């Protein structure tokens, strides 16, 4: 069916853009390290700009994927990027991939397959009018208000004081902004269809929604972009990405669940499958990161006489 | 339906007997250590006998589970025993459960849920006559011949020479014996129904099959029992259990697949789901074991300036 092939295309785009996104952090980090080594700013480094380009391409890919497949499926698939990022980092940054890293890669793949098997097979919001209704839903409005208050507190007060010592501040900011970017991506596709297909003068409502969502998306991406780079300057890319992945994905799934009600069409077993798949992927991402932060020493004495 | 409730009971028994089986290794190990400390044989230690009793109860539970649910589901659920064993070991043997051990526990649970979701929902072999046909299937006979030859080579030749230095020898013996014990358990249930319900004098065939399977089961369990204790005397229980779990489960799934053709009733997605679930559980078991063999040292220098 058409719905089915749209989903397949969405999953395909999501996987490819995950790989592109996976290279982003590594290339930017490589650029920052190279620039630091030669005493220049990273804005003059071409590898850093490749990373930034990859980020833009990856974001466009994400945008397309979010419009073709459910958010609960596209977001966790980002783990495949972490996998690719780890492989690329072991090559470009000479970050060693040990047994834990390899197990983490296996888990990212297994968890992603389970997620794909159990994800919702069709969209719950299919038109702009439906989207407008959902955006004005009191539960969603309360959630958004809470997120905005949290963001103001984090950016205005906690970030200057604790940003450089506590990784959760930057992770929190970037993840909460995901509550806006992902629904904006999905909404933009729906609004664009109506805004550009109908009569411009009479269909003002669709155009306003389109411009409003576009503005939200641009502002959010710029803030995210700023804080990701601040985080990368202060923390290890491994540490940041692991925590970021889990918190960001949870935050996006929560926002999508409230806005698009993707869970309503799912049975109990599928919900359970998604939960297990997401947990497996999260453990995989964590392992990949632990493997790059920790040194494992075997205790050979214990294997004979414990 | 009746089929559904039988499956639920089977899964329930499988989970409980996994927990009982999980305590086996820990209790026997504790007994061996206590006996070694006081200079006695472990045959005089009551904790060792508790472990042996738990093994018998666990085996009976397994027998019942194999008769109520597919082997492809019951065998991997044994991972829950590894989880319980790890928790018990951290309490009785003071084996510390670190972050990797905890992640391993989470993976065992997630993988088990995925396995339960995707496992076959009904039995493919439902009568003794069908079982006899399957047992005489040329593919199964060839597989059994191969396993017997391997076992003769392992027990007669490799075990005296390499048993104490290479963990795979004992693991191989115990796992290959699983190819006999698990189908015997399932077959015994089917054969018992016919052997004890019909007329004794005319239904000799069922009685012969029953006695034959019972003999195979007893001989296999005794050999397994001997080599598990040999392995525990020479290797760490963690190391042994991790490798044993993966090899044993794969061997049982292979034998069941050939004998009961449980896979034929499954769709592609369910096969994929089982594969992912089993891989997740295997990684979980491996992590639990790595966590008890390895010391993790964090590299705090890298978290600030990498």
Query: Can you tell me the mean pLDDT for A287-304?
Result: 66
Q: pLDDT confidence of A122, banded at 50, 70, 90?
A: low
Whether the Cβ atoms of residue B76 and residue B115 lie closer than 8 Å to each other: yes
Q: What percent of chain B has pLDDT over 90?
A: 7
Q: What local confidence, expressed as pLDDT, does residue A304 receive? A: 40
Question: Between chains, do A299 and B293 touch, taking CB under 8 Å as contact?
Answer: yes
For residue range A153-171, list pLDDT tens digits in order: 998 888 888 878 888 888 8
Contact B106 A294 (CB under 8 A): no
> Which of A101, A114, A233, A284 to mutate: most B Cβ within 10 Å?
A114
Closest CA to B82 of B10, B24, B13: B24
Q: What is the pLDDT at residue A152?
A: 92
Instruction: Give the residue with greater pLDDT, A2 vs B142.
Output: B142
From B110, B117, B276, residue closest to A113, measured CB to CB: B276
CB B269 to CB A117 under 8 A?
yes
- Residue A108, pLDDT > 70, answer yes
Q: How far is A34 from chain B (nearest CA, A)?
A: 12
Mean pLDDT over all residues of chain A? 82
Q: State residue A36's pLDDT score.
A: 83
Task: Output the pLDDT for position A303.
Answer: 42
Is the pLDDT reported for residue A200 higher than 70?
no
Nearest CA-CA distance, residue B239 and chain A, Å: 7
- Residue B306 and residue A236: Cβ atoms within 8 Å? yes
Contact list, B297 vs chain A (CB under 8 Å):
294-297
Tell me the sheet residues that pair with B297: A295
Q: What would the pLDDT profile of B8-19 be if each residue is shown by its tens digit? A: 888 899 999 988
pLDDT of residue B37: 83
Instruction: For residue A151, name the pLDDT band (cuts at 50, 70, 90).
Output: very high
In terms of pLDDT, which residue wins out, B212 or A259?
Answer: B212
Percent of chain A with pLDDT over 90: 7
Locate tokens 């780890």: which residue?
A86
Candidates B94, B107, B281: best to mutate against A (most CBs of A within 10 A) is: B107
Q: Note the pLDDT of residue B55.
A: 83
Q: Give the pLDDT score at A302.
A: 44
Instruction: Answer yes or no: do B272 and A236 touch at CB < 8 A.
Output: no
- How close B290 gets to chain A, by Cα (Å)? 9
Answer yes or no: is pLDDT of B77 > 70.
yes
User: Which tokens in the block code for residue A20?
Assistant: 């592109």
Minimum CA–CA partner of A117 in chain B: B269
Do the beta carbons of residue A173 and residue A222 sit within 8 Å? no
A235, A277, A302 member nearest B236 (Cβ): A302
CB contact under 8 A, A290 and B100: yes
What is the pLDDT, as a whole number, of residue A203?
Answer: 64
Strands (E), B180-302: 294-298
User: What residues have CB less than 8 Å from B36, skipping those under 6 apart?
Assistant: B42
Per-residue pLDDT tens for A227-244?
888 888 887 777 777 788
Q: What is the pLDDT of residue A299?
A: 65
CA-based end-to-end distance of chain B:
60
Q: In B, what residues contact A, Cβ < 8 A? A: 99-100, 103, 106-107, 110-111, 113-114, 117, 234-237, 239, 269, 272-273, 276-277, 279-280, 283, 286-287, 290, 293-299, 302-304, 306
The residues near B75 (Cβ < 8 Å, ≥ 6 apart) are B178, B182, B248, B249, B252, B253, B256
Structure-block tokens of residue A64: 């397309």
CA quadruple B104, A105, B167, B252: dihedral sign: positive
The alpha carbon of residue B98 is apart from the nearest alpha carbon of chain A, in Å, by: 13
- Give the whole-angstrom CA distance, residue B81 versus residue B105: 10
pTM value?
0.74
In this predicted structure, what is the pLDDT of residue B202? 52
Task: Tell me: pLDDT of A301 over 50.
Answer: no
| Chain B neighbors of A168, CB-CB under 8 A | none
Torsion angle defined by CA atoms of residues B193, B198, B203 and B206, in that order, rounded to the nearest 10 degrees: 0
Decide if pLDDT at B225 tops 60: yes
* Alpha helices by DSSP H, A235-297: 237-260, 268-293
Q: Look at residue A201 in the predicted model and tell me its pLDDT.
A: 54
Q: Let me know the angle formed at the C-alpha of A227 by A63 and A282, rounded to the nearest 5 degrees.
A: 65
* H or E segment to which residue A295 belongs: strand A294-298
pLDDT at B150: 92
CA angle A96, A97, A100 (to 5 degrees): 130
Residue B301 has pLDDT above 50, yes or no: no
pLDDT band at residue B304 under the 50/70/90 scheme: very low
List of chain B residues whose C-beta atoms are within 8 Å of the C-beta of residue A286: 103
- pLDDT mean over A197-225: 80
Q: What is the mean pLDDT of residues B78-89?
A: 82
Tokens 């103001």, residue located: A152
Which among A255, A277, A115 is positioned nearest to A187, based on CA atoms? A255
Residue A255 pLDDT greater than 60, yes or no: yes
- Distance between CA B157 and CA B162 in Å, rounded? 9
Higher pLDDT, A135 or B196: A135
């Amino acid at each position: 069916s058409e719905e089915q092939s749209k989903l397949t295309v969405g999953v395909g785009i999501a996987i490819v853009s995950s790989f592109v996104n996976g290279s982003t952090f590594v290339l930017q980090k490589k650029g920052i390290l190279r620039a630091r080594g030669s005493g220049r700013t990273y804005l003059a480094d071409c590898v850093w700009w490749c990373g930034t380009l990859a980020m833009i391409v990856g974001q466009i890919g994400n945008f397309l994927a979010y419009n073709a497949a459910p958010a609960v499926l596209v977001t966790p698939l980002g783990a495949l990027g972490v996998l690719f990022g780890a492989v690329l980092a072991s090559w470009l940054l000479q970050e060693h991939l040990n047994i834990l890293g390899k197990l983490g890669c296996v888990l990212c793949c297994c968890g992603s397959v389970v997620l794909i098997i159990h994800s919702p097979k069709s969209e719950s919001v299919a038109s702009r009018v439906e989207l407008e209704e959902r955006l004005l839903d009191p539960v969603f409005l309360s959630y958004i208000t809470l997120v905005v208050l949290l963001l103001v507190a984090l950016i205005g007060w906690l970030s200057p004081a604790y940003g450089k010592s506590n990784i959760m501040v930057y992770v929190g900011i970037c993840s909460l902004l995901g509550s806006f970017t992902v629904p904006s991506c999905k909404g933009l596709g729906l609004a664009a269809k109506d805004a550009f297909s109908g009569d411009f003068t009479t269909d003002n409502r669709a155009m306003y929604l389109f411009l409003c969502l576009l503005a939200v998306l641009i502002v959010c991406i710029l803030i995210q972009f700023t804080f990701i780079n601040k985080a990368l300057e202060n923390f290890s890319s491994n540490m940041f990405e692991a925590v970021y992945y889990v918190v960001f994905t949870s935050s996006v799934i929560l926002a999508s669940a409230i806005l698009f009600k993707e869970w309503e069409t799912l049975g109990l077993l599928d919900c359970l499958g998604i939960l297990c798949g997401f947990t497996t992927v999260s453990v995989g991402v964590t392992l990949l990161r632990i493997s790059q932060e920790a040194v494992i020493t075997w205790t050979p004495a214990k294997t004979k006489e414990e």
